[in-house]
Chain A
Amino acid sequence: MAYSEKVIDHYNDPRNVGSLDKSNDNVGTGLVGAPECGDVMKLQIQVNPETKEIVDAKFKTFGCGSAIASSSLATEWVKGKSINEAMSIKNTEIVEELSLPPVKIHCSVLAEDAIKAAITDYRNRSQD
């Protein structure tokens, strides 16, 4: 199976790798895994508490090229969006953008889950 050019680009030059301070109340962390293959993905967002806009995003993924590309793309997409807008990002959009083959669709699902988990974590923490 060949990777698409966009997957290779994200794989060779992943955007926004790293982490944000987990203890910061404006940071939400999502940690998700794919039991089909053992991939683990962490995606973090930093939110402006006034505007609810995502001002920064970082990820770290241990997985195949498609999982890395999906999470790299996810961090690019969420930046600058409000958390409500980011919540509505669908895995199918990631599949389309990266031309993922059917066997790699679960990688895009993982990225969607990671965004949602990060936002949920942020909402829980900022309520306290």
Chain B
Amino acid sequence: MTSPLFCFSCNSLQTIADNINYFEVLGFPLCFEIDHDELGNRYQRLSLEMHPDFFATAPEKEKRLSEKSSALLNAAFSTLRKPTSRARYLLSILTGDKRLKSDTLPEGFLQEMFTLQESLDELLESGDETALSGINENLQGRHTDIESDYAVLFKKFETSPENSEILQQLQTQLNSERYLRRLLDRINTE
């Protein structure tokens, strides 16, 4: 494997380039779909090479570089391993200086979220487990649907990169995800 953070042939930390992205950190192309086993393997292998513990007696400069590289590696891994944070991150890169509207939602979605929150009020109050698990299942399903749409939309954008409407659709999906996540968190923590 290759990573710009570490050279496996000469076994040494590399200076971190400015504006390196998380995909590059782990040696992946800038693409939404990612091999999860490979992601985990690369993360482990790199953290074993770069962990600050192994640089405790190294010169100060190298010590600091290992801390910086490890922090970057951890941030990259935790962002890329989950579909929503990966999608959010990739969207921000692909958007660049194009202008997207930040608050788009499907028609009627906000009203529906408000109504669902209100019914949760009642159900959590009354402790109606059957109704709660019904809503939970329904919302989980919709959440999964949104997450599987990311891959479809990013693929579509790859074939027509001039169409920034696709990026706007991704933004809408990511916005919707936050509201669904919020409801799910509420059901599962209260």
B111 (CB) vs chain A CBs: closest residue: A31
Chain B contacts with A in 167-182, Cβ cutoff 8 A: 174-175, 178-182
Q: What mask results when residues 6 to 24 of chain A are scored 1 for a CB within 8 Å of chain B, else 0?
A: 0000000000000000000
A37 (CB) vs chain B CBs: closest residue: B178
Please, how many angstroms separate the alpha-carbon atoms of A39 and B183 in the complex? 10
B174 (CB) vs chain A CBs: closest residue: A35
Interface contact A31-B114, CB-CB below 8 Å: yes
Interface contact B117-A40, CB-CB below 8 Å: yes
Interface contact A40-B110, CB-CB below 8 Å: yes
Interface contact A35-B114, CB-CB below 8 Å: no
Q: What mask results when residues 28 to 41 of chain A are scored 1 for a CB within 8 Å of chain B, else 0?
A: 00011101111110
Interface contact B114-A40, CB-CB below 8 Å: yes
The secondary-structure label for the interface of chain A is strand
Q: What mask results when residues 25 to 51 of chain B are scored 1 for a CB within 8 Å of chain A, else 0?
A: 000000000000000000000000000
> Which chain B positions have C-beta within 8 A of A33?
103, 105, 110, 113, 179
> Which chain A positions have C-beta within 8 A of B114?
31, 40, 42, 60, 62
Q: How large is the interface on A (under 10, 10 to 19, 20 to 34, 35 or more residues)?
A: 10 to 19
Q: Report how many residues on chain B are interfacial, defined by Cβ distance under 8 Å.
A: 17
> Which chain A positions have C-beta within 8 A of B178?
35-38
> Which chain B positions have C-beta within 8 A of A60?
114, 118
Q: Answer yes or no: B102 CB below 8 A from chain A CBs.
A: yes
> Which chain B positions have C-beta within 8 A of A36?
178
Q: What mask results when residues 121 to 144 of chain B are scored 1 for a CB within 8 Å of chain A, else 0?
A: 000000000000000000000000
Chain A contacts with B in 26-72, Cβ cutoff 8 A: 31-33, 35-40, 42, 60, 62
Q: What mask results when residues 56 to 93 of chain A are scored 1 for a CB within 8 Å of chain B, else 0?
A: 00001010000000000000000000000000000000
Q: Contacts A35-B175, A60-B118 known; A40 to B113 CB distance under 8 Å?
A: yes
Give A residues with C-beta under 8 Å from B.
Answer: 31-33, 35-40, 42, 60, 62
The 9 closest A-B pairs by CB, nearest first: A38-B182, A35-B175, A38-B178, A62-B117, A38-B179, A33-B110, A40-B114, A35-B103, A40-B113
Some 23 contacts from A to B, beta carbons below 8 A apart, are A31-B110, A31-B111, A31-B114, A32-B110, A33-B113, A33-B179, A35-B102, A35-B103, A35-B105, A35-B174, A35-B178, A37-B182, A38-B179, A38-B181, A38-B182, A39-B182, A40-B110, A40-B114, A42-B114, A60-B118, A62-B114, A62-B117, A62-B182
Could you list 16 further interchain pairs (A-B, Cβ under 8 angstroms) beyond the known A33-B110, A36-B178, A42-B114? A31-B114, A32-B110, A33-B103, A33-B113, A33-B179, A35-B102, A35-B103, A35-B174, A37-B182, A38-B180, A38-B183, A40-B110, A40-B117, A40-B179, A60-B114, A62-B117
